[in-house]
Amino acid sequence: MAVGARSGHDEPEKRPDRPAQQVAAMTDDSTGRRDGDAGSDQGPDQGATPPGDTGDGGDGAGRSGSGGAKKPRSFWKELPLLIGIALILALLIKTFLVQAFSIPSDSMMNTLQRGDRVLVDKLTPWFGSEPERGEVVVFHDPGGWLEEGKTPEPNVVQKVLSFIGLMPSAEEKDLIKRVIAVGGDTVSCKEGGKVTVNGKELDETSYLYPGSVPCEPAFGPIKVPEGRIWVMGDNRQNSLDSRYHQELAGGGTVSNDEVVGRAVVIAWPVTRWATLPVPSTFDQPGLSQALAVAPGAAGVAGALPLVLWRRKKLAARHTAE
């Protein structure tokens, strides 16, 4: 026997250690195949996948996910939709909330100046709110207040902007004045004096145009019908208001139904931004006849049930005796 020869049953010969990669590539002791080739011989029952398909959601799944993701819609494709939504919102706001109006004259100086843009509250009238003394209101021409004149024909852009409330309409005939008296009030003004409502003089120095005379021309006393208002401009000598239309239907008053809403703020120009509150002179005690009568009427209404109950109790006692 040759020296160094070994039997197949003897102890294996010790060999030098192999690198880890080489060991990993070795075949297993049962199949003689490499681990990486194991799946290639599997039959259909073993879940073999066709070439190019990744059954385990590996790299193929990543490629499929990135390729199938929806691309963001182009801004230019979304722009018409955004414009449409904005126009609908503007139309709803104009119809139910607020509307912008332009001041075309000097009749409300210095409270409002020509060219000012005011925002008019159109929400509260939907809930039954009616004009109150001291408020600045916009109303439709009751008929005969504005001179009949040919207005320039607006172009398409102006019509669209006015329709959605971003621009005053040239076709609508609206006026803006201050409410001096409401339905049930008695208003009058003597030459050289002050305007009186229900016998109370108004201190109008806070809002009248400097140098403007409160009562010129004189008028009244006038009883304002229910559901109507008496209006006057703050620039009394440059305002064709209720005083100058007493010969028309309504005697110079305006129906509450003609009122568009109350002007609440000057929105433009920015340097003129301001709110339009009710002057304090309209809050003086006794100005409102309705408020003066209300406490007494409420007292009578509250005492009546008590009196009737007492009378019934006394009658029952007398009957029992």
Write out the catalytic residue numbers.
107, 177
Residue whose structure tokens are 């009122």: 259
The separation between the first and the last C-alpha atoms of the chain, rounded to the nearest angstrom, is 152
Residue whose structure tokens are 């009568």: 293
CA distance 41 to 46: 9
Q: What's the maximum distance between 2 C-alpha atoms anywhere in the chain?
A: 153
> HSE-up of 224 (CA within 13 Å, CB side)?
27
- H helical segments located in the chain: 20-24, 59-68, 75-96, 156-163, 289-320
Cβ partners under 8 Å of residue 274, min gap 6: 265, 266
Q: Which of 104, 105, 139 is nearest to 122 (CA)?
A: 139
How far is residue 246 from each of residues 147, 175, 198, 239, measured CA to CA in Å?
A: 16, 17, 19, 14
Q: C-alpha angle with apex 240: 282 to 196, nearest 5 degrees?
A: 30
CA distance 103 to 176: 8
Helix (H, G, I), strand (E, B) or coil at 40: helix
CA distance 264 to 278: 10
Helix (H, G, I), strand (E, B) or coil at 145: coil
Give me 240's structure tokens. 């064709």
